[in-house]
Amino acid sequence: MKTPYGYALSDADRFSVNQSQADAVKLIYDLYLQGKSLGGISDILNECKVLSSTGNPTWTRAAIDHVLSNGRYVPFIISEDLFWQVQIEKERRTNTDDNGRKAARYNSQNVLSGLLVCGECSSNYRRITRSSGEVVWRCADKVENGKHATCSNLTTVSNDEIKKAICNQLGIEVFDDEIVRNMVDTVNIGKEGIVIRVKFSPSIGMMFL
């Protein structure tokens, strides 16, 4: 069993927090949210002589990116709010070029963008790509503002789950962007589940738990 950076493995095969490495993990997250690049964080860690997980005094960008994407640090080393703030920032940087402009590969026409609404605070849901490649959606207010958010909605739903619910509601076998764009008004996500409201029939909605 490989021990994640930030943890130590006891004789009883149980993980405990390695405090010095945990402090480095927190520093990496803080620096990233301060706007530091992976290379900039690497320089700081190297200057401070912080050892990597392999005991190497030199941190690579890949190693730092792995730390920033590792959900196993929640909740023992970092908070869930902090983790998701970093995932949102990673998504934002992925979708912009070096001049801060939207990159060509960013699909601003994603049919679900703007349709997904938080059932508690009415904020839009934000698209997040996890390190595994899985796409999930989460309340923008909760993710971006963390513990200062007014919303308490912690519901995270996968892209596949939402598409399946919409297909069931519309009675279609395959998710089709054009059909969804023309027929779906909002997708309300809250503690109750997913409620889909279709156009032309505002009173019609179906809940999927």
For residue range 145-165, list pLDDT tens digits in order: 777 788 888 888 999 999 999
20-77 pLDDT, tens digit per residue, is 999 999 999 999 999 999 999 999 999 999 998 888 888 999 899 989 989 889 999 9
Phi-psi region of 17 (alpha: psi -120 to 50; beta: other; left: phi over 0): beta
Asked which of 2-11, 91-100, 189-198 is least confident by mean pLDDT, the reply is 91-100
**Torsion (CA) 91, 21, 61, 2 in degrees, nearest 10:** -90
- 3 state DSSP class of 110: coil
The structure's pTM equals 0.59
State the DSSP H helix or E strand holding residue 29, giving kind and residue range, or none if neither: helix 19-33
The token pair at 100 is: 């801060």
What is the rounded CA–CA span in Å between residue 46 and residue 24? 11
90-108 pLDDT, tens digit per residue, is 877 776 544 555 444 334 4
